[in-house]
A and B are shown apart, each in its own frame.
Chain A
Amino acid sequence: MFTPKNKGLFVDVSEFSILAARTSSYKLPIVIEEIGELPLAGTSNEEVRQFLEELVDYKGATYFVSRCGVYPENRFVRYFEAESVNKAKDPQYLTNVLESEFEVDPANSFVSILDARDGSDLDFESAVTRKIAFCGGSNEDLQKTQDTLLGYGLYPDRMELGSVSTLGGLCDYTRFNSINSPILFFELTSEAATIFIQSKGQLEVARPIPVGLDSIYPILQRELGLKDESSARKLFFSNTFDFAEMGSKLMRKVIKELQASAGFYEVQTGQTIDRLFISILPKNLSWVAKTISDALGLEIMQPSYEAWLNSLNVKVSEGVELMNLGSRWMGLFSLMGEYHLREEVTSE
């Protein structure tokens, strides 16, 4: 009664940086009181903890209970359209699909099956959808990620796949802003990349492509005549080189995959994709989005968070400026959204 409420700490931990927000609490309505970013380049656990302690008061405890978005190496998000509603409700059938089509071992993985239309957990008894999204990761990978969080002094009250929560945030943002045209959402990390296409808040494509940033370094090494891949990697993340000119060369493979997926979708559905949304990538890789958007002729989506968050009962305190935050912050803010309450919120 008299003790102050516990603050909320939302953290989006990608391989590039940690984005964090302190909120008034976890229970909606909440207020974002402060946000912070820590680039992760050879950063020690102690430095991360120090960064977090500047945001929240640990009160001498080892851990701070937080809600985290993570990107485990072997995470997966796959879209699947079953032949019938009945088949979509058959766990055995879905298990077979996972194993045969998506090469996921359900025995050693955490798998969540969502209704691709709204992101709700698929109810095997009452589901009426054929559109399904599988998501999860290998147990080993998740354990490693969880241990990393604990190493930072973060006790995950929730540990969510950043790819899925960002997708959810984007879908809800699309609905809130009544964006009717499909959006191409591209998630690019070192080892993996996933193409998502969502339309009117519903997931319609989610497929991995066999390229990541790691596949770009050899090209960069070759193009610039660098001595090894690690030098190329170092240069890639430095702010000293302008990649705008040679961007299309470096991203050729990625662009090809994106063009193929987008083209197939457009032919299949008759809808035209006109926006591109790229998450995670740090500010110094903004040329990636520019290169892709130029190549695909898409507009880069720059979300305006404040009104959207406000509609989710997430207020922003006066000292926090969200205007210039790019799309990579969607992962963090989407951890705060409770979209199943959206109907109630809007009906109020």
Chain B
Amino acid sequence: MSKKKDLQPYWRPNVRIVETLPDIKVVRTDFIINFIAVSLVVITGVYLLQREYRVFALSRSISNLEQQINVSNADNNKNLKLNQRFFEAANYVLELQSFYSAPFRPYHLIAELTQSKPEEMRFTKLSLSESVATKGKTVSFNINIRCEVPDLTVLNSFKSILAESTLLKPEGYTATIVESFQAKNVQTGFFPCSVSVVIKPIDEKSKKDKK
């Protein structure tokens, strides 16, 4: 007889005989499909979350870095200005260095030239420049004198004086003097002329060859 534990829906007692029913339990595979589908969803979800988090983290670090860049830009500009000033100062130093490393002092040269200049001769321009030869990296000095003379003999005499000057022939250097002149200026009665002196180190190789 039915007991309380076997309570049925109203008017519907279940009279089947469970003991003699065949076993229809099979290894269910549906759950595997569900499991895979759920796993895929979870993995995709985790992947997307991770990616979103990375994007968020990167965006945050980008904004931090941009902030740092903004802060550093000001410092950088300051440093660049300082650097520029440093280079400018360094150029001065280099100029001074080259000034003092020359085989003669320019002011001695000016003094020498003005003292040895014939009285009738007038300097219109005096310049001193350096040039560095690409081969051997030797430094040459060019002295250019623009002048006016009433007579060309004055020019020749000046050239001779320069040729004799010891200042223009420091040790290890040789001097080449080239003069040129133009037609006489009728108004002034002077010949515009120029004297170019090239002081360059003596070539060691050519020295040996001479020997």
What is A's interface to B at a CB cutoff of 8 Å?
Answer: 1-3, 61-63, 65, 70, 91, 94-95, 106, 110-114, 118-125, 135-137, 139, 142-143, 146, 150, 155-156, 158-161, 164-165, 167-169, 171-172, 334-335, 337-340
Contacts and interface: CB of A to CB of B under 8 A. Distances in A.
Contacts of B24: 61-63, 65, 155
Contacts of B1: 91, 94-95, 106, 111-113
Interface in B1-51: 1-4, 6-17, 20-22, 24, 26, 30, 33-34, 37-38
Contacts of A171: 11
28 contacts: A2-B34, A3-B34, A63-B24, A110-B15, A112-B1, A112-B8, A113-B1, A114-B13, A119-B11, A120-B7, A121-B6, A121-B7, A124-B4, A125-B4, A136-B15, A142-B15, A146-B21, A155-B22, A156-B16, A159-B16, A160-B12, A160-B13, A160-B14, A164-B11, A168-B12, A172-B11, A337-B12, A338-B9
Contacts of A161: 13, 15
A158 B1 CA distance: 17
A137 B22 contact: no
A120 B33 contact: no
A339 to B, nearest CB: 4
Contacts of A168: 10-12
B4 A339 contact: no
B15 A121 contact: no
B24 to A, nearest CB: 6
A143 B17 contact: yes
A160 B7 CA distance: 14
B11 A165 contact: yes
A156 B6 CA distance: 17
Given A155-B21, A171-B11, A339-B11, A121 B16 contact: no
B16 A158 contact: yes
B8 to A, nearest CB: 5
B111 to A, nearest CB: 106
Contacts of A123: 4, 7
